[in-house]
Amino acid sequence: MDKFEILKKYFGYHSFRDSQETLIDSILAGKDTLGIMPTGAGKSLCFQIPALLMEGITLVISPLISLMKDQVGALNQAGIHAAYLNSSLTVNQYYKALGLAKQGRYPIIYVAPERLVTEEFLDFALNQRIAMVAVDEAHCVSQWGQDFRPSYLKIVEFIRRLPKRPVVSAFTATATKEVRDDIMDILMLQDPTVVTTGFDRKNLYFGVMAPKDRYGSIRNYLECHPGESGIIYCLTRKVVEEVCGRLRQDGFVVTRYHAGLSDQERKENQDDFIYDRAPVMVATNAFGMGIDKSNVRFVLHYGMPKNMEAYYQEAGRAGRDGEPAECILYYAGQDVITNQFFIDHNQDNQELDEFTRALVQERDRERLRKMTFYCFTNDCLRDYILRYFGEYGSNYCGNCKNCLTQFETVDVTKQAEILLGCVRTCRQRYGVNVIIDTVRGANTAKIRQYRMNENPYYAALAKEPSHRLRQVLNYLMLQEYLAVTKDEYAIVKLTGNSRRILEEGETVVMKMAKEQEKAVQGKEKKERKSSALAGNLSEAGEALFEKLRTLRTRIAREEKVPPYMVFSDKTLLDMCRKKPQNKTEMMSVSGVGEFKYDKYGERFLECIKEAAGEES
């Protein structure tokens, strides 16, 4: 078989996506390869298809047990023999898998990096033909990446000990230029083919909101999206428990995941989510890497992550099937303080020397600053994300909250002069809240204690709403007219640019949302929801989609596999559009390969014919 025959037979696709073929051809030509592709772009096919064509075994280095189990389960479901070797296996299971691997049973073996240099695994690897080492989630090798894992440094040592150097490939979804260069240097890739397909996920809607009642907003969102699968990320275990408990009391079927739960409960809760028994997962960032659940329709953040890499990776777990999905971040000022605490008390970098640890901490603070600006900007949110990763667009995507909000250009020079003047006259000693309370003329104990009621700018903006002043202050920080110290108390400071406003009379204009937008946001949300539902199918098409989903769930329970491993939502939607009547037509549906047709095809054809009979 060639690469196209494998693509259709096992994976059910007729053609490759952008750059997949380039990466596959590079590996098959024996070249080291680095692929940087967004979540859901089909990275795994880029090493799985060559693995089935190369002579020998492909070892896939993977950081998490859940990731390995998910990908191995999907391969076995597609008719490809694959195995994983990690700490979730008992001693007997491990040696049995290793024994079958020695017999040549598995062309693809997933392995945890910690296992690579153990005596048992080395004994196996040194006596087998290792055709390729594929490093998944390759950003974990870089100390500048958001998920640095020292165990990934064992990969190079392992490759050096092999009798013949295999092809080395590496893949990741989130990598800045620094991280990309680090991956190539640390893994010692030799003249690699490097392909960056772009970070854009056009099917994802992005939004940032700062509601007074975050829980109420989350609850309202779930009420508007009944039955849909999604993830709600929280910053701490305590918030996970609180949000999950309240949602259950309000009648939602949800589950939870964080590092404070037992291994058994985490496994059970994860399975409940994957098998759609609990469609909504409330979790910390400990959840999600390697979860290839294709029908996640929304990712909500109950709090701001500490950097853009983490946010985009977590948000990217929505809409992996390419269908419309939503990513909404619910922001509050306390999120910055919480994340600053995490950075200051990070235990993950203890293996680094003191100088490097301090350097990493400083980088983390800068990332937090840029993540915070994402929550403030009135520009296109998608463009902000893409610019962070080094791509430049048109600053209008038409599928984010900012692009769908009507803005007006407002001259805020007077407000800017007063805010900067207040910072200067208090000798740059206080934080954002004190500055805003001062210019608004607040008569609080703190203002009196600091004697800010004697400041020349006290009550100078008494008629301005505090939320507007906060927007202006945020804009001044975004444009670097002001800065905030990176210590525990976040003191507002002047910058070299401040004098352009204070002394040179520079005009300051900014985009502000028109006030009437607030009244129509709910309407826009409902319109966006209805347009995304079931891929714009007709009423009869939506009914068929639900019948196919019911059949898929029944088959998944029979086979004890997650529903999306039978067929993805995208495949079911394609069935609804094409309404195949025989095998030839069914094989034209995206995601239907020979192996899966033989297992399930006739049952889905029968369901489609029955629905057509009911309709007529």
What is the mean pLDDT of the segment spanning 559-574?
Answer: 89
> What pLDDT does residue 532 have?
47
Does residue 338 belong to any structural domain of this protein?
yes
Report the CATH number at residue 13.
Answer: 3.40.50.300
Does residue 526 belong to any structural domain of this protein?
no
Does residue 513 belong to any structural domain of this protein?
no
Q: Over 60: is that where the pLDDT of 221 sits?
A: yes
CA atoms of 525 and 328, how far apart (whole Å): 12
How many other CB atoms are found less than 10 A from the CB of residue 391?
13
DSSP state string for 158-220 = HHHHSSSPPEEEEEES---HHHHHHHHHHTT-SS-EEEE--S--TTEEEEEE--S-HHHHHHH
Does residue 224 belong to any structural domain of this protein?
yes
> What pLDDT does residue 441 have?
96
Among 116, 108, 178, 176, which residue's Cα sits nearest to residue 150?
116
Are 215 and 139 contained in the same domain?
Answer: no
Are 189 and 244 contained in the same domain?
Answer: no
> What pLDDT does residue 523 have?
40
> Structural domain of residue 431, as residue ranges?
408-497
pLDDT category of residue 528 using cuts at 50, 70 and 90? very low
Share of the chain above pLDDT 70, in %: 94
- Which of 497, 517, 549 is the last residue in one of the domains? 497
Are 321 and 436 contained in the same domain?
Answer: no
- Per residue in 92-138, pLDDT (tens digit) is 998 999 999 999 899 999 999 999 988 989 999 999 999 999 999 89
Does residue 375 belong to any structural domain of this protein?
yes
Tell me the pLDDT of the chain averaged across its residues. Answer: 88
Does residue 44 belong to any structural domain of this protein?
yes
What is the mean pLDDT of the segment spanning 390-394?
Answer: 78
Are 34 and 125 contained in the same domain?
Answer: yes
Helix (H) or strand (E) holding 380: none
Does residue 514 belong to any structural domain of this protein?
no
Are 215 and 190 contained in the same domain?
Answer: no
Q: Over 90: is that where the pLDDT of 150 sits?
A: no
Are 290 and 310 contained in the same domain?
Answer: yes
Are 162 and 190 contained in the same domain?
Answer: yes
- Which of 175, 196, 217 is the last residue in one of the domains? 196
- State pTM to two decimals: 0.75
Q: Over 80: is that where the pLDDT of 445 sits?
A: yes
Does residue 168 belong to any structural domain of this protein?
yes
Domain count, the chain: 4
Are 157 and 222 contained in the same domain?
Answer: no
Are 459 and 576 contained in the same domain?
Answer: no
CA atoms of 436 and 426, how far apart (whole Å): 13
Are 12 and 154 contained in the same domain?
Answer: yes
Q: Are the C-beta atoms of residues 198 and 61 closer than 8 Å to each other?
A: no
What is the mean pLDDT of the segment spanning 456-480?
Answer: 92
Are 213 and 356 contained in the same domain?
Answer: yes
Q: Over 80: is that where the pLDDT of 525 sits?
A: no
